[in-house]
Amino acid sequence: MKQLALAVAVLALGVAAFALLRTFDSGPEYTDAQRADAKSAICAAFETVRTGVATNTNAEPPGGSDDIAGALAVSANARVALLDGGQYLLARLDPATPSDLAGEIRRFANQLMDIGAAATAGVPNSDPVQAGRLQDAEAASTAISGRCG
Residue 98 near residue 39 (C-beta atoms within 8 A): yes
Average pLDDT over residues 21-39: 80
Residue 98 has pLDDT above 80, yes or no: yes
Give the per-residue pLDDT at 99: 94
> Whose CA is closest to 147, among 81, 89, 100?
100
pLDDT band for position 62 (50/70/90)?
Answer: confident
- Look at the alpha carbons of 120, 121, 127, 130 in this order and tell me if their dihedral is positive or negative: negative
The distance from CA 114 to its chain's CA centroid, rounded to whole angstroms, is: 11
Q: What predicted TM-score, i.e. pTM, was given to this entire model?
A: 0.78
